[in-house]
A = this chain, B = another copy of it.
Amino acid sequence: MRHDSRLSRMLHVLIHMDRHDGSATSEVIARMLNTNPVVVRRTMAGLREQGYVHSVKGHGGGWTLSRPLEQISLLDIHRALGSPEVFAIGLAIDHPTCLVEQSVNAALQDAFAEAEAILISRFGNVTIADVARDFDDRFQRSTEKPGPGSCH
């Protein structure tokens, strides 16, 4: 696969869970995301550990939100997923003895650090509720009768 899509998937599913009464099973979520129930459990495990969702075993069980979307930022989810590497480009080696390579590393790291700081700051300032609100706008524009609906 080309890149890590777990953040995208988790935001997607959390909004659906918010707009859906009761709990959702890994099976149902997997169909939403066009993937496998095991992948769902694996990915949501981090969110559960951080207290953003709750899982219940057995009949009638499944996944539920543990707190309102207003209280969860994109950064929270990014971190719950283990703060995966942001960049696909990186240094050849981390601590080179070559002074030339040290300068190259410094130049690149500066640039990466600046870009990452922007991204992380942005993630921290956007809640999932903000994204859900944007969905409401799109939904309203796409239908005559606005309301809390979804595409699944």
Q: Which residues of A contact B (CB under 8 A)?
A: 2-5, 7-9, 11-12, 15-16, 19, 32-34, 74, 84-93, 97-108, 110-112, 114-116, 118-119, 122-123, 126, 130-132, 134-135, 138-139, 142, 150-152
- From B8, B100, B103, B151, give the contact of A99 (CB < 8 A): B151
Q: What residues of B have a CB within 8 angstroms of the CB of A88 in the complex?
A: 3-4, 84-88
Q: How far is the CA of A85 from the CA of B90 in the complex (A)?
A: 11
B112 pairs with A134, CB closer than 8 A: no
Query: How many copies of this chain does one complex carry?
Result: 2
- From B15, B85, B111, give the contact of A123 (CB < 8 A): B111
Q: How far is the CA of A8 from the CA of B5 in the complex (A)?
A: 26
Q: 20 A-B residue contacts at CB 8 Å?
A: A2-B85, A2-B90, A3-B85, A5-B91, A7-B108, A8-B91, A9-B92, A32-B98, A74-B111, A98-B151, A98-B152, A99-B151, A102-B135, A104-B131, A107-B134, A112-B119, A115-B115, A115-B118, A115-B122, A118-B118
Q: What residues of B have a CB within 8 angstroms of the CB of A135 in the complex?
A: 99-100, 102-103
